[in-house]
């Protein structure tokens, strides 16, 4: 129910995205920023602040501990931090069983354009022989490939499996290590780290005589704010684990 929660804490509040999320929460009429914590702060301040939900944009190495604390204390979480594999998601599902009523949303990308780019890529993938993903980010990014690229590759692979698509053609018989990118679920993912960039991705699809390129660009971290606010507005109505903001959007 919209407005059910109002008191919000931000973890990673001094980071590139966290600082932007503090501004967005502050500017939203229905929310009050009650805690803005960063590395070195005591997370138990969340409880003292009365936070009903947190936004986490921290680091893959610390996010699981942050979420364990939130779940134990019945604080909902809207999480942008990357680094979630199936083992981590299963661990969260188990922890959430002990805290019914608490919701955790993990979203590899909160920008609406990126969500649509992933959806369009999955729709297009079975119609082409070849599909590869190129992600381009600022050079201070902690992980590679990006969470968005991993998720895109997984969605592409699932769509091709469901359609019974043939394996992608690739006649490479010799290559330097890394020249063909990472293999994510059978889909090649290439990562670039370029000063001046924020967050960008291309999905290139090819068949006989044609290619299709689906590209998304976040030029400013403000692009993640509307999705995070949507997450906060919906999280109390979605106890348990939700993966992907598209679950809170009417895309169909």
Ligand X SMILES: O=C(O)C1=N[C@H](C(=O)O)C[C@H](O)C1
- As beta bridge partners, residue 10 has 36, 55
Residue closer to ligand X, measured from CB, 58 or 102:
58
Contact with ligand X (CB under 6 A) among 9, 12, 15, 108: 108
Residue 31 binds ligand NDP (CB under 6 A)? no
Residue 57 binds ligand NDP (CB under 6 A)? yes
List phi, psi (to 5°) of 95. Answer: -65, -35
Which one of ligand NDP, ligand X, none is in contact with 18 (Cβ closer than 5 to 8 A by kind)? ligand NDP
Strand order across the beta sheet in which 103-106 lies: 32-37, 7-11, 53-56, 76-79, 103-106, 240-243
Interface stretch with ligand X, choices 24-32, 145-153, 186-194, 205-213 (CB under 6 A): 145-153
Burial of 115 (0-12, 13-18, 19+ CB in 10 A): buried
Which one of ligand NDP, ligand X, none is in contact with 104 (Cβ closer than 5 to 8 A by kind)? none
Contact with ligand NDP (CB under 6 A) among 8, 9, 15, 76: 15
Residue closer to ligand X, measured from CB, 103 or 145:
145
Residue closer to ligand X, measured from CB, 109 or 230:
109
The number of residues in the chain equals 252
| Helix, strand, coil percentages for the chain (3-state, nearest 5) | 35, 25, 40
CA distance 202 to 87: 28
Residue 102 binds ligand NDP (CB under 6 A)? no
Collapsing DSSP states into helix, strand and coil, what is residue 187?
A: strand
How does strand 130-137 pair with strand 199-207?
A: antiparallel
- What phi-psi label fits residue 121: left (phi over 0), alpha (psi between -120 and 50 degrees) or beta? alpha
Active-site residue, from 76, 137, 200, 216: 137
Residue closer to ligand NDP, measured from CB, 28 or 212:
28
Identify residues 105-124 at the interface with ligand NDP (CB under 6 A): 107-110
Q: Tokens at residue 142, please?
A: 């902690």
Contact with ligand NDP (CB under 6 A) among 52, 82, 121, 230: 82
Which residues here bind ligand X, judged by CB under 6 A?
82, 108-109, 137, 141, 146-148, 199
Q: Annotated active-site positions, please?
A: 137, 141
């Amino acid at each position: 129910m919209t407005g059910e929660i109002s008191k919000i804490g931000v973890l990673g509040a001094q980071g590139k995205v966290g600082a932007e999320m503090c501004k967005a929460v502050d500017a939203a009429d229905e929310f009050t920023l009650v805690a803005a914590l960063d590395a070195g702060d005591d997370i138990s301040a969340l409880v003292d602040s009365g936070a009903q939900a947190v936004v986490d944009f921290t680091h893959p190495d610390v996010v699981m501990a942050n979420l364990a604390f939130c779940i134990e204390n019945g604080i909902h979480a809207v999480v942008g931090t990357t680094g979630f594999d199936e083992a981590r998601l299963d661990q969260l599902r188990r922890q959430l069983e002990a805290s019914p009523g608490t919701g955790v949303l993990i979203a590899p990308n909160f920008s609406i354009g990126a969500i649509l780019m992933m959806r369009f890529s999955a729709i297009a993938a079975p119609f082409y022989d070849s599909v590869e993903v190129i992600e381009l980010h600022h050079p201070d990014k902690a992980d590679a490939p990006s969470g968005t690229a991993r998720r895109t590759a997984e969605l592409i692979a699932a769509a091709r499996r469901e359609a019974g698509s043939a394996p992608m053609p690739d006649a490479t018989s010799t290559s330097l290590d890394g020249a063909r990118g990472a293999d994510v679920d059978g889909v090649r993912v290439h990562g670039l780290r370029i000063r001046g960039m924020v967050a960008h991705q291309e999905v290139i699809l090819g068949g006989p005589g044609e290619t299709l390129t689906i590209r998304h660009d976040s030029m400013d971290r403000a692009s993640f704010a509307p999705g995070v606010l949507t997450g906060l507005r919906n999280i109390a109505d979605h106890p348990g684990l939700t993966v992907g903001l598209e679950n809170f959007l009417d895309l169909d």
